[in-house]
Structure 1
Amino acid sequence: CEVIELFCDVDGTFPNHHPDPAHPENLQDLVRCLQETDAELGIAFDGDGDRLGVVTKDGHNIFPDRQIMLFAQDVLARVPGGEIIFDVKCTRNLAAWIRQHGGTPTMWRTGHSLVKAKLRETGAPLAGEMSGHIFYKDRWYGFDDGMYAGARLLEILSRSADQSAVLNALPDAPTTPELQLRTAEGENFRMVEELKRTAKFPGASDVITIDGVRVEYPDGFGLARPSNTTPVVVLRFEADTPAALSRIQNDFRRAILAVKPGVKLPF
């Protein structure tokens, strides 16, 4: 295939944009290249090449949780019943997709070292997280390798005439980007522990506390978890409809303000 390179000269100052493919603003040059050339697919890597970003010909960002769907479908065709690991920030459509294709979904804590350790513990053939770390144990060595994941993506998509159609057909839902509630050092952990202890979420079907508080509803989910690296509470919301998304955010707004009155929320 023909490859059009963008910003492939090594420069640790990153003069073009921040090298994080998890954020759509860092993929705009890739989107423009797809619009202006005959290229059919855009692939982006972070600064050390262990995370993958994907953009379709029509400019849609295929977030890592949807990438994992495609990878899982392919792996489970060879490993029936295989365990697929993903982190708490991923779409709720992912677990259903894994079951639909004969696999066993396992939600786990965010953090590439934590996900890699879980893969090693379970022997799962595939793991991934919302930040773009993809871990292949199937035909590979079980570590996060963005370039290898990109090669596997090309292998899968080479079987179809319309790569964008395959990617755009993966289940999707209205969702927020990763939101950050800034706190004092250490306060993010205290806030989330208090949410675990006291918050009530009427209408929830499940409350998962393996990493923060992830509240599952029949029509969506909300997440509040303390970042492991910076003093922020990470928030993410997803729902079947915009109205459901707003309702779930209101539940979290009420719960967070009960723990920390007057705090400025990012939603």
Structure 2
Amino acid sequence: MLGIFIERSAMQLSPSIFKAYDIRGIIDETLDPSIAKLIGQAFGTEMRELGETDIVIGRDGRLSGPSLIEALTEGLLSTGINVIDLGMVATPMVYFAANHTINGKTPKSGIMITGSHNPPNYNGFKMVLGTAAIYGEKIQDLRKRIEAKKFITGQGNRSSFDIFPMYLNYIVGDVKLARPIKIAVDCGNGVGGAFAGKLFRALGCEVQELFCEVDGHFPNHHPDPAHIENLQDLIKNLQTTDNELGLAFDGDADRLGVVTKDGQVIFPDRQMMLFAKDVLSRNPGGQIIYDVKCTRNLASYVKEHGGEPIMWKTGHSLVKAKLKETGAPLAGEMSGHIFFKDRWFGFDDGLYTGARLLEILSKEKNPSDTLNNLPNAICTPELQLACAEGEPFALLETIKANAKFPSSESINTIDGVRVEYADGFGLARPSNTTPVVVMRFEADSKEAIQRIQAEFKAVLLAVKPEAKLPF
């Protein structure tokens, strides 16, 4: 039943909320229900112009979610779009619903209201328009439409649907474990906590839940498994129980973190090796897409197992688009977004990725040994150089045009500058979401990392002498 949306005095539209891959802002500073309604009007108009009439929407567990989803719905309905409200769900469930017949409709578009791994006072919108994730200029087009107030009017209908039983049955019908595995699951009080335990128990696992009560305050730790400090509770659990493996999810459950019995974190670029080997066993010669931040060991591992590695730009929407363009059976990026087209639908889904991981590891007597034995290298975490707004892109263009890296073998410029060496790589790329230059280094030895970093330091200081480098 449609809730009552009380019209507030309209907040001024801030261009800053229109990011590279989504729309995201701070509640009551740059984002409120009045903005959500405008986004609904703009998106609904875009749908109507494509001939689309039906959309699925959902929200995560953030405190601002209920008011934003009501306002978004009002905006969509006002353009003549029929809205199927999934309620509180994980982001991949919205994507899943947009691939299925729901309430007799086949919606090809979806909007998820989520702040993902951002602090509690953030929220935002991840969007699929006519089966395609929208990003870049398409998101800016929504902004321009709102500013021009170019909206189609109509009257749509609203219905609701519980997607989880269909989603659960599909995964349980597809993924088969060779034996039960004892796992600990840490959802960081994100929305994945409402579903992860049920899913993995249905697959036959014995599950211990950590922080799986959905709480938009995130009282225990930040729901972001990309940062090791957020995995300490999971590491401690594995050390003090008989659980074999730890799985962690971000705030909207589209990314997976993995911890072994001995407390090692298996970052997504190494997870991709395991998935690539499995996927290539059914898709010989298949292309495997990965982003510029991933280990160079991944490309050689893919080749060893009969696949074609393709390095691509960072950004879940960009990787998803590349997967769709190429027809590759698997893609992934260092941030933890993994995309299975093999046996799945090509969207990023941390819960399904966890299920596929358990399917592979259930064939092993010691899952942690299998994970720890994947090729590894000495590497830095993601390092960031703070810049002025707009500066990172100009900085990298200057580096591309002029920089010299004396001991390098090759330079890749599809996304910033990734310099390959005989014994490692260095990366500097402009972030699409914040005004920073993102850097990462990997090598066969500490001496090699220091040499590579010294070359990057010389290049960076040549174009920005006052830079306070994080290495």
TM-score, reference length from structure 2: 0.56
Residue-pair matches, total: 267
1:79 equivalent to 2:283? Answer: yes
Query: Within 5 Å, which residues of 2 pair with 1:136-151?
Result: 136-151=340-355
Partner of 2:106: none
Partner of 1:174: 378
1:53 equivalent to 2:269? Answer: no
Q: Which amino acid aligns with 2:348?
A: D
Partner of 1:108: 312
Partner of 1:63: 267
Larger radius of gyration: 2
Q: Which amino acid aligns with 1:258?
A: A
1:158 equivalent to 2:356? Answer: no
Partner of 1:183: 387
**Aligned-partner Cα distance in 1 for 2:324–2:280:** 18
2:243 is aligned, of 34, 39, 45, to: 39
SS in 1 for 2:442: strand
SS in 2 for 1:255: helix
What is the CA-CA distance between 1:262 and the residue it aligns to?
A: 2.1
Q: Which amino acid aligns with 1:34?
A: L
Partner of 2:460: 256
SS in 1 for 2:347: coil
CA deviations over 1:72-125 (Å, ceiling 9, x no partner): 000001100000000000000000000000000000000000000000000000
Partner of 2:226: 22
What is the CA-CA distance between 1:149 and the residue it aligns to?
A: 0.3
CA deviations over 1:30-84 (Å, ceiling 9, x no partner): 0011011110000001000000100000000000000000000000011000000
**Aligned-partner Cα distance in 2 for 1:228–1:9:** 32
Q: Which amino acid aligns with 2:412?
A: I
SS in 2 for 1:54: strand
SS in 1 for 2:221: coil
**Aligned-partner Cα distance in 2 for 1:100–1:26:** 34
1:215 equivalent to 2:419? Answer: yes
Q: Which runs of 5+ in 1 are unaligned?
A: none
SS in 2 for 1:3: strand
Partner of 1:202: 406
SS in 1 for 2:210: coil
1:237 equivalent to 2:463? Answer: no
**Aligned-partner Cα distance in 1 for 2:220–2:438:** 27
**Aligned-partner Cα distance in 2 for 1:203–1:179:** 22
Q: Which amino acid aligns with 2:234?
A: L
TM-score, reference length from structure 1: 0.99
Deviates more, 1:33-42 or 1:11-20: 11-20
Partner of 1:129: 333
**Aligned-partner Cα distance in 2 for 1:140–1:10:** 27
**Aligned-partner Cα distance in 2 for 1:12–1:72:** 35
**Aligned-partner Cα distance in 2 for 1:16–1:109:** 33
Q: Which amino acid aligns with 2:259?
A: V
What is the CA-CA distance between 1:189 and the residue it aligns to?
A: 0.9
Q: Which amino acid aligns with 1:66?
A: R
Q: Which amino acid aligns with 1:18?
A: H
CA deviations over 1:1-57 (Å, ceiling 9, x no partner): 210001111111211111111111110010011011110000001000000100000
SS in 2 for 1:81: coil
Partner of 2:42: none
Q: Which runs of 5+ in 2 are unaligned?
A: 1-204
2:432 is aligned, of 219, 228, 239, to: 228
1:4 equivalent to 2:212? Answer: no
